[in-house]
Amino acid sequence: MAEKSIVVLISGSGSNLQAIIDAIESGQINGRISAVLSNKADAFGLERAAKAGIPQIVISHKDFADREAFDGAMIEAIDQHQPDLIVLAGFMRILTPGFVRHYQGRMFNIHPSLLPKYKGLNTHQRALEAGDSQHGCTVHFVTEELDGGPLAVQAPIPVLPNDTADSLQQRVHQCEHKIYPLAVELFCNGRLAHTSGQVQLDNNTLPPEGYQFTQE
């Protein structure tokens, strides 16, 4: 199967971007990152891209009158790389329905909760306040509903008695760095797909919670 072209969108640190770069370099992922796009010129993830020899694109949302114009400029820049997959990795802008539809079935996001629980922000604090015994992270296909697309890979972790929002966040982040490369690997091998509203892994429809990743 031909190597897939991946474009990664970031706004910040890009530690998930780094995990994907590392997984490509180790041969886990049969793909290449054709470009990293950031809406912030000072995002640390751009330095990670530069170090890995990946072309960087900066498009500031502040230079555009509205979301449609910003998203249109992003589509124009992204499509020059003929991407098979768009990876949202800490990209902190809400996308327009037109942008989402354009990449339907080939755009992932990662979210720091066991979706559908805790869409939006402050997920670790919310899980603690609810007294949950489990928390985690989820890779999902992006649809027009924010954090609401069908789930691809999910990793539950236990909430420990002394956990704080910070300690939980750190352990969830470590999990993200495992399941994001895994989801990208499976997509690039043609094993994971979102077609007709369902997520398929090896031609079997996944349950609503997606493929459950468990640590040994």
Residues marked as catalytic: 111
Does residue 156 bind ligand GRF (CB under 6 A)? no
Query: Which of 6, 7, 14, 106 lies at the binding interface for ligand GRF (CB under 6 A)?
Result: 14
Closest approach, Cβ 166 to ligand GRF, in A, equals 13
Give the residue with the Cβ less far from ligand GRF, 17 or 59: 17
In order, the DSSP letters of 1-61 are -PPEEEEEEESS--HHHHHHHHHHHTTSSSEEEEEEEESSTT-HHHHHHHHTT--EEE--G
Distances (CA, A) of 24 to 7, 57, 167, 182: 13, 20, 28, 11
Does residue 40 bind ligand GRF (CB under 6 A)? no
In order, the DSSP letters of 122-176 are -HHHHHHHTT-SEEEEEEEE--SSTT-SPEEEEEEEEPPTT--HHHHHHHHHHHH
Structure tokens at 165: 């929002």
Closest approach, Cβ 201 to ligand GRF, in A, equals 21
Closest approach, Cβ 67 to ligand GRF, in A, equals 19
Does residue 12 bind ligand GRF (CB under 6 A)? yes
Query: Which of 99, 176, 181, 183 lies at the binding interface for ligand GRF (CB under 6 A)?
Result: 176
Does residue 16 bind ligand GRF (CB under 6 A)? yes
Give the range of 6-14, 79-87, 158-166, 197-205 binding ligand GRF by CB under 6 A: 6-14
Task: Give the integer Cα–Cα distance in Å for 55 and 52.
Answer: 9
Tell me how crowded residue 76 is: count the other CB atoms within 10 A of its CB: 10
Residue nearest to ligand GRF (CB): 90
Does residue 96 bind ligand GRF (CB under 6 A)? no
Does residue 15 bind ligand GRF (CB under 6 A)? yes
Asked if residues 163 and 6 have their Cβ atoms less than 8 Å apart, the reply is: no
The 111-140 contact track toward ligand GRF, x by CB under 6 A, reads: xx----------------------------
